[in-house]
A and B are shown apart, each in its own frame.
Chain A
Amino acid sequence: MISENAAMTGSYDYGEVSRSIVIAVAASYAALDLAGRVTATHGRARAAWLTGGAIAMGIGIWAMHFKGMLAFRLSVSVEYHWPTVLASLSVAILASAVALYATSRQKMGLVDALTGSIIMGGGIAGMHYIGLAAMRLPAITRFSPLLVSLSIFLAVLFSLVALLMAFDLREETRWSAMRRLGSALVMGAAISAMHYTGMAAAAFMPSALPPNLSHAVSISPIGNNGIVIVTLLVLGAAILTSSVDRQAEAEVRQINQGLEHQVTERTAQLEATNEQLRKEIAERERADEALRRSEDRLRLVIDTIPALVWSKFPDGSADFLNHRFREYTGLSAEEGLGEGWLKAIHPEDPASSVADWRAAFAVGKPFEFEARLRRADGEYRWFLFRGEPLRDEVGKIVKWYGTSTDMEDRKQAEWALQEAQAGLSHVTRVTTMGELVGAIAHEVNQPIAAIVTNANFCLRQLASASRNSDKLREAMLEIVNDGTRASAVISRIGALLRKGAPKRVAVDINQIIQEVTILLRNEMARNHVLLRTQLGADLPRVSGDGVLLQQVMINLVMNGIEAMSSIKRGPRELVIKSSRDHNEVSIQVKDSGVGFDPQQAEHIFEPFFTTKPQGIGMGLSISRSIVESHGGRLWAESHPTGALFQFTLPPLNNGAS
């Protein structure tokens, strides 16, 4: 039936081949692109994309294939049975749909991929061979089974590769167009290879039979080009739509993101503002609270401060007295203001008159002094007054502010302490005297008591009828012994007084005077004695015992203080003066007391002479003996203005020369 055994040789129009490859690449690119779209959309849009994509892709694959067939030139004219062509197209579209569906699923396992690729590859192969079957030419088509198998295998293999690639590349945002294009080139090349393998599988044997040309059309070059153009248009449209859609979606997403970002930002701003407001409110509340508290505190401080607070005009009149001041003095606000408050100050103290205050204010400097303030119950207590001036812009004092602090207890404690310290001097001076006298009395009285008792016993024995001469003798012997003992006691005391030749060192008499005045400062303050010292400069040192000389000074100062204690009105002034007088150091202690009877000027130095109710009359006597043991003299003069005690001491170098 076959007249010629040789197969018809065909040639390829390479221009058509290259065009078919371009279509294959374009179709591949569209497929990859569309897979991404299908994946990214849902519901109806997804169905629409799937359908549209399958159609576009199917057309692309089919067009490539058809083009490839057209590129095959045979010596005979070839016509195409168009219903079969349409069938091949629909197979291509279905295969594309399967491929798109497979790649657009959430997951693609190996089985899915294989199934998809078999269906797709089968579809493509089917399309190919259906397309071949559409050819109407005067030849019999024979197929090489090996190449057919190979082509089907390649179709399935390339489908698998394509599916895997599409699945990987469907994440649109992650893969660039370039990458996709590269993949499309690979895929396009593969499809072409499969196609041309399939073509090679067919051999056309010339046939005498004319082809059945019903429903057959010949493809004119214009038609041929038309297919290419339409296909490319369809693919281009698909890609464009996909790209626009993707772009739009990306934009929408971007806009959404932008909006969301803006909302977040705005919300954050609002929150920040709110927080700021809350903070400001809390801050203000705190500030208000702090102010309130500070006012309360201030009020509380003024109410409870353990001090009397006042302000005064420069003329000394009171402008303000705090509650405590009024409470303490018992003065009402009206009584206390102006000069009324001065009534509460002890009349003997400085600060008891307006003049005193004006004088203090006139200095214009912060001041402090002590004065007694009368309490509501009439008791006077010592207060420390401190004042500080308030000046106007030109420096003129407009007011004085100050406090008066109760220091009675502290003063008492201070005195007690001073007294305790001064015990060494003043107190022991008296007590040692007392003890000395007591000791002498005891020591002498013991033997005397024994003598008297024994003598009485003797008398009793003598009066008794049964006298015992042994016992009498014994008692009389004891009398003699005790008499001797009493005498020994007396001489021992004398020795004791003469004993202890005072040590002689260089003594600065001014230093001794200063020590004594410090020691007795409080004694003087308590007795309201004003002390004035006039110490001579460059006095030579004296040779003596500092402690004993101090004892003399204490004696004289204490005498002076005591002599002035009876003064009710007028100054109590004690002057201590040291000077150089005719090669001797002279010390004077002068009081402003009543003085003494001049006729007693010498008696007062005798032991046990005293004009004081509590005195034992030893102080001046001992003082004189101390001064005389230092080679000096001590004497007293009575003046109308008070008593003057004076002693002299030879300077140190006198003894040396």
Chain B
Amino acid sequence: MTEVSPIVFVVDDDPSVARAIKRLVESVGLQVAQFGSAQQFLHSERPDAPSCLVLDVRLPGISGLDFQRQLAEAGIHIPVIFVTAHGDIPMTVRAMKAGAVEFLTKPFRDQDLLDAVQVALERDRARRQKEAGIATLRDRYESLSAREREVVAMVVCGLLNKQIAAEIGTTENTVKAHRSRAMEKMQAESLADLVKMVERLQTFHEKAS
């Protein structure tokens, strides 16, 4: 898989701060996109690449903390690094609880920000990979016929071919055929592999629902 170049989004209503952050982050070779408000960020075209968001807490219109929640509700899973000129402990706690990578108080140490950006990008990269994996798995699973899915569900539960045949009212040979076809479609190398795949799909779906 070829790695798409990551991008760092900076949302700060103070343009000089935003520029300074952009300059600093670019100096370590990362791509930076700068926005003056949350709305601007939302309405922008965002490349499909590992990314993170450096977000000012005090923003025009909506607070950074509320914006963080909105993003989560909209299903945008981007790691957030908060920067604020006037933060307090409850604010920090809230941000971190909501899944922020770091909460930095202005003026911050340059290395702290760069470290946080690296952590955030790494986290997003992992998430993307995982999501991509899941997506592949889901595609494969969706290529199964209804009967094959039924057989897979029973196989995963540990039922023997004979039992499955009795259960769905067919011959053992037919079950074997369904099973090998399903394994092939799912690209599972072993039964254990198949069980793991189904488990991943299930846990992902549970999280999503």
Could you tell me how many residues of chain A have their Cβ less than 8 Å away from some Cβ of chain B? 25
Query: Pick the contact of B20 from A438, A441, A445, A450 — CB < 8 Å?
Result: A450
Chain B residues closer than 8 Å to A457, beta-carbon distance: 20, 23-24, 27, 110
Bound Cα distance A441, B85 (Å): 7
Which residues 431-447 of A sit at the B interface, judged by CB distance below 8 A? 438, 441-443, 445-447
Query: Would you give the shortest CB distance from A443 to chain B, in whole angstroms?
Result: 8
Report yes or no: A449 in contact with B17, Cβ–Cβ below 8 A.
yes
Chain A residues closer than 8 Å to B27, beta-carbon distance: 457, 460-461
Query: Would you give the shortest CB distance from B33 to chain A, in whole angstroms?
Result: 17
A527 at the interface (CB under 8 A from B): no
Report yes or no: B86 in contact with A441, Cβ–Cβ below 8 A.
yes
Report yes or no: A450 in contact with B16, Cβ–Cβ below 8 A.
yes
Report yes or no: A445 in contact with B23, Cβ–Cβ below 8 A.
no
Query: Pick the contact of A481 from B16, B24, B58, B107 — CB < 8 Å?
Result: B16
Report yes or no: A460 in contact with B20, Cβ–Cβ below 8 A.
no
Query: Pick the contact of B86 from A442, A453, A456, A482 — CB < 8 Å?
Result: A442
Query: Would you give the shortest CB distance from B27 to chain A, in whole angstroms?
Result: 6
Report yes or no: A445 in contact with B16, Cβ–Cβ below 8 A.
no
Chain B residues closer than 8 Å to A460, beta-carbon distance: 24, 27, 110
Q: Please name the 6 residue pairs, one residue from A and one from B, whose CB atoms are nearest each other, closest first.
A: A449-B106, A445-B85, A456-B110, A452-B107, A453-B20, A449-B107
Report yes or no: B20 in contact with A454, Cβ–Cβ below 8 A.
yes
Report yes or no: A447 in contact with B16, Cβ–Cβ below 8 A.
yes
A331 at the interface (CB under 8 A from B): no
Closest to B16 in A: A450
Bound Cα distance A448, B27 (Å): 20
Closest to A481 in B: B16
Residues 177-214 of chain A, each 1 if its beta carbon lies under 8 Å from chain B, else 0: 00000000000000000000000000000000000000
Name the prevailing secondary structure of the A interface residues: helix
Residues 79-122 of chain B, each 1 if its beta carbon lies under 8 Å from chain A, else 0: 00001011000000000000000000011111001000000000
B14 at the interface (CB under 8 A from A): yes
Which residues 444-476 of A sit at the B interface, judged by CB distance below 8 A? 445-454, 456-457, 460-461, 471, 474-475
Which residues 470-491 of A sit at the B interface, judged by CB distance below 8 A? 471, 474-475, 478, 481-482, 485
Report yes or no: A445 in contact with B110, Cβ–Cβ below 8 A.
no
Chain A residues closer than 8 Å to B16, beta-carbon distance: 446-447, 450, 478, 481-482, 485
Residues 8-39 of chain B, each 1 if its beta carbon lies under 8 Å from chain A, else 0: 00000010110111011001000000000000
Closest to B106 in A: A449
Q: Which residues of B contact A (CB under 8 A)?
A: 14, 16-17, 19-21, 23-24, 27, 58, 83, 85-86, 106-110, 113
Chain B residues closer than 8 Å to A482, beta-carbon distance: 16
Bound Cα distance A454, B113 (Å): 13
Bound Cα distance A475, B17 (Å): 11
Query: Would you give the shortest CB distance from A300 to chain B, in whole angstroms?
Result: 52
Query: Would you give the shortest CB distance from B40 to chain A, in whole angstroms?
Result: 18
Report yes or no: B107 in contact with A445, Cβ–Cβ below 8 A.
yes
Query: Pick the contact of A449 from B23, B58, B85 — CB < 8 Å?
Result: B85
Interface centre among A443, A445, A471 (most CB of B within 10 A): A445
Given contacts A445-B106, A450-B16, 15 further A-B contacts (CB under 8 A): A438-B86, A445-B85, A449-B20, A449-B83, A449-B106, A449-B108, A450-B17, A453-B24, A454-B20, A456-B24, A456-B109, A457-B20, A461-B27, A478-B16, A478-B20
Bound Cα distance A447, B20 (Å): 10
Query: Would you give the shortest CB distance from A484 to chain B, in whole angstroms?
Result: 11
Chain A residues closer than 8 Å to B106, beta-carbon distance: 445-446, 448-449
Query: Pick the contact of A446 from B19, B85, B113 — CB < 8 Å?
Result: B85
Bound Cα distance A557, B110 (Å): 48
Which residues 394-450 of A sit at the B interface, judged by CB distance below 8 A? 438, 441-443, 445-450
Bound Cα distance A322, B163 (Å): 76
Can you report 23 residue pairs joining A to B where beta carbons are below 8 Å apart? A446-B14, A447-B16, A449-B83, A450-B14, A450-B16, A450-B19, A450-B20, A451-B20, A451-B107, A452-B108, A453-B17, A453-B24, A453-B107, A453-B110, A457-B20, A457-B24, A460-B27, A460-B110, A471-B23, A474-B23, A475-B20, A478-B16, A482-B16
Chain A residues closer than 8 Å to B20, beta-carbon distance: 449-451, 453-454, 457, 475, 478
Chain B residues closer than 8 Å to A443, beta-carbon distance: 85
Query: Would you give the shortest CB distance from B61 to chain A, in whole angstroms?
Result: 16
Bound Cα distance A448, B84 (Å): 12
Closest to A445 in B: B85
Bound Cα distance A448, B17 (Å): 9
Query: Would you give the shortest CB distance from B114 to chain A, in whole angstroms?
Result: 9
Chain A residues closer than 8 Å to B58, beta-carbon distance: 442
Chain A residues closer than 8 Å to B19, beta-carbon distance: 450, 478
Report yes or no: B23 in contact with A454, Cβ–Cβ below 8 A.
yes
Bound Cα distance A610, B23 (Å): 42
Bound Cα distance A454, B27 (Å): 11
Report yes or no: B85 in contact with A475, Cβ–Cβ below 8 A.
no
Report yes or no: B23 in contact with A475, Cβ–Cβ below 8 A.
yes
Bound Cα distance A449, B83 (Å): 10
Report yes or no: A446 in contact with B24, Cβ–Cβ below 8 A.
no
Closest to A451 in B: B107
Bound Cα distance A75, B27 (Å): 192
